[in-house]
Amino acid sequence: MSSGKHRAELKQKPDNVEAEQKLLLRREKKYARVVLIGALGLFLGVPRNVAVNNMPDSNWAGSGKSTDIANPKPLFTGIKASWIITSPNQSYTRNPDDKTIGQWIGIGGSNPNDVENLIQVGTDCHGNGVCKGFYELLPGPPMEFKTFSVSPGDIVSVEINKVDLAKDLWHIKFEDKTSKLRGNTDLQYSSTQYSAECIFERPLEDDRSSYSRLGSFGATKFFDISYGVDQKYQASPVRDVTYDIVQDGTVITRSTLKGSELDIKDLRR
């Protein structure tokens, strides 16, 4: 991580269940956030604890850290992780050509107070075999790394770091360890910095009536996960948050965080 950040053991605090339920209810009523990914008309980005059009299903698996809901602090200044790009060949929607699996890291977006505030970097793969690296600053559209391509099975290492706390300047680093290709960019973005997460995602369909159906994927993982925090707030209480995908009312993934590794398994196998 860059200067101004510090890797520290973060203090845990039990969830304020009543406050969280109230905030989540308010968020469900106020937001049905969807983010357009690619030209297929698919949407990414609605956390598992938000019902879209009263759907019980959800589309996030993974884990993250979030500051206290009742008294959030701009704690997170960076996140780094690696993963193996998961093939979407068995992920399907009503239209067989519309298949997407998204894997990404982000700052913001998972705390009920900042659902519309998210900077994310990751990969998405479509059913036609085309994969890409992208970054996104909500509420703006995703931007593709056009100088190189990625493929299913590639190992990628991705970083988001706030390099200037006063000017809201972020540095994004994307490296494909398999192809040895990489992309870097500096971006200005005003983030709440309330949370940071590693997410495996299935999208909403373009009509937002249902999520895309996730075919069997076996297992995937994030590894070498680390966080950067603002030293000013490093003593702030932090909650660990885990997400799992619900399809047809049934939980179909199990996300397990062990140290710096996050395993996501398909429970249907």
3-state secondary structure 69-135: CCCCCCCEEEEEEEEECCCCCCCECCCCCCCEEEEEEEEECCCCCCCCCEEEEEEEEECCCCEEEEE
Most confident of 38-42, 84-88, 224-228: 224-228
Which tokens hold the place of 68?
């206290």
**Ranges 15-19, 101-105, 122-126, 172-176: which has the least confidence:** 15-19
Provide the residue ranges of all domains of the chain, joining segments of one domain with +: 5-266
Pick from 12-21, 101-110, 124-133, 140-149: least confident: 12-21
Q: Which of 191, 267, 184, 264 has its CA nearest to residue 225? A: 264
Decide: pTM greater than 0.85. no
pLDDT confidence of residue 1: 37
Which pLDDT score is estimated for 103? 94
Q: Which residues pair with 226 in a beta bridge?
A: 80
CATH fold of 5-266: Jelly Rolls (2.60.120)
Cβ 20 vs Cβ 248: under 8 Å = no
Write out pLDDT tens, residues 79-123.
Answer: 999 999 987 654 444 454 456 788 999 999 887 777 789 999 999
Residue 205: DSSP 8-state: P
Q: How many whole angstroms separate alpha carbon 143 and alpha carbon 260? A: 28
